[in-house]
């Protein structure tokens, strides 16, 4: 079975994670999908297949080399999708032999996929694209990665002439809400190095991620009848707006790219009496990300001086760090990926990841873990798509990497 065929099947599962849920996995659909993958893995001959109480799926592809005692390599992808965009009742379709023109996804809502908006589409002329109906995301992030790992596994097991060492596979829950590595048992996984198949265009081999922090802002106001509010009311909503105005407007996601970090107001809600805001802070430079936290505290201090102590209370937490410092000492991971990409007809590229992966955390848990492109684009949106031929190449790339680590 080809990788894209698996993707078309996997997107039927409702696996949107939920940051408000305390459980792991955060939603029952992920556990259901994990159990399905367990049965599929057993069916193609993967060994030591198991799913734990937290929804983590592990499996082993045994070595095809007698007496092999080399480096165990792992491949990892996540099962959940974001819930910020509709993620149920996904209806994918395949646009065959794409001709380079605009693809109409949802004519009623005028949702289109056009090369004017997304110039990289022109690089896929003559290829087949998997798109949505314009009403939901696709779920290629990260079900394309799962499909490619499963296709790799099936190929290696069916063809023992392909020489490789022991390979470990893992599928994780809740990556999209930053918990993918929380309960990942690195020791039980048993790989020395791993790759996440969780990137964008085929050919990417990424080792730089953001440093990430989250900031919750609680604003304590004072509600009084507006008819008698002069010099008494403290409107928490307006104070929150004033707080946001103290942050640099040019350092928002919609104004930044490449190595530029940002402040992102992710949610806001409340009333005159109380309000809450949630931010994420991102930067590839750890020092700059720390400075963002300092600036937010200074903004809170300024408004507290104006409106009274504890009008604004900040809660700051760090989510993950730039995995580059853990990957660079093991540069063979990137060199090997580049070699594999070239050998299957691709052109390798490494760009800074403007986000994070499970590998961001796992790399600091003793499992150096760069990220590989899967052939998808426009993740987390209704214009998400994946290229069928790129997914084939990505599966072939994983096989090449497995072969190369047979002798490392």
**Active-site annotation, residues:** 80, 175
Structure tokens at 317: 């937490």
**Following DSSP, what letter does each residue of 79-112 receive, concatenated?**
--B-SSS--SS---EEE-S--SSPEEEETTTTEE
Spatial distance between the Cα atoms of 286 and 184, rounded to a whole number of angstroms: 25
What is the distance of C-alpha 241 from the center of its chain? 30
Residue 233, classified by CB atoms within 10 Å of its CB into exposed (0-12), middle (13-18) or buried (19+), is middle
C-alpha to C-alpha distances, 327 to 145, 179, 246, 358, nearest whole angstrom: 21, 21, 36, 14
Q: Give the residue among 363, 392, 398 at the shortest CA–CA distance from 375.
A: 392
Radius of gyration of the CA atoms of the chain, in A: 23
Alpha carbon 165 to its chain's center: 28
Residues 6+ apart with CB under 8 A from 269: 275, 276
Give kind and range of the element (H or E) at residue 188: helix 186-189
Rounded (10°) CA dihedral 138, 140, 146, 147: 80
**Closest to 308 in 3D by CA, of 206, 221, 178:** 221
Rounded to 10 degrees, the C-alpha dihedral 371/373/377/380 comes to: -30
């Amino acid at each position: 079975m080809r990788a894209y065929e698996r993707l078309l099947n996997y997107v039927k599962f409702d696996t949107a994670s939920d940051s408000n849920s305390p459980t792991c996995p955060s939603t029952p659909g992920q556990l259901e999908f994990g159990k399905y993958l367990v049965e599929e893995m057993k069916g193609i001959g993967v060994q030591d297949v198991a799913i734990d109480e937290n929804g983590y799926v592990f499996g082993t592809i045994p070595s095809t080399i007698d007496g092999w005692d080399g480096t165990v390599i792992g491949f990892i992808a996540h099962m959940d999708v974001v819930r910020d965009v509709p993620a149920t009742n996904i209806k994918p379709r395949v646009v065959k032999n794409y001709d380079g023109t605009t693809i109409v996804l949802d004519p009623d809502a005028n949702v289109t996929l056009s090369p004017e908006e997304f110039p990289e589409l022109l690089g896929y002329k003559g290829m087949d694209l998997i798109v949505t109906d314009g009403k939901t995301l696709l779920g290629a992030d990260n079900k394309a990665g799962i499909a490619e790992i499963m296709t790799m596994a099936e190929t290696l097991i069916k063809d023992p002439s392909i020489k490789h060492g022991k390979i470990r596979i893992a599928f994780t829950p809740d990556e999209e809400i930053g918990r993918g590595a929380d309960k990942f048992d690195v020791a039980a996984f048993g790989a020395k190095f791993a790759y996440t198949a969780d990137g964008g265009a085929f050919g990417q081999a990424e080792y730089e991620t953001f440093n990430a922090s989250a900031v919750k802002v609680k604003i304590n106001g004072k509600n009084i009848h507006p008819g008698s509010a002069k010099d008494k009311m403290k409107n928490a909503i307006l104070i929150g707006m004033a707080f946001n105005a103290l942050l640099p407007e040019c350092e928002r996601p919609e104004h930044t790219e490449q190595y530029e970090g940002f402040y992102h107001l992710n949610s806001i809600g409340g009333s005159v009496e109380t309000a809450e805001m949630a931010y994420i802070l991102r930067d590839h430079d750890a020092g700059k990300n720390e400075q963002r936290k300092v600036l937010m505290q200074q903004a809170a201090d300024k408004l507290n001086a104006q409106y009274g102590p504890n009008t604004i209370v900040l809660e700051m937490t760090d989510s993950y760090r730039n995995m580059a410092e853990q990957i660079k000492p093991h540069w063979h991971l990137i060199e090997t990926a580049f070699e594999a990409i070239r050998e299957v007809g691709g052109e390798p590229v490494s760009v800074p990841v403007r986000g994070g992966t499970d590998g961001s955390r796992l790399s600091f848990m003793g499992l150096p873990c760069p990220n590989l492109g899967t052939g998808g684009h426009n993740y987390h949106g209704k214009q998400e798509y994946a290229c069928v031929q790129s997914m084939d190449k990505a599966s072939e790339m994983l096989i090449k990497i497995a072969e190369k680590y047979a002798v490392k």
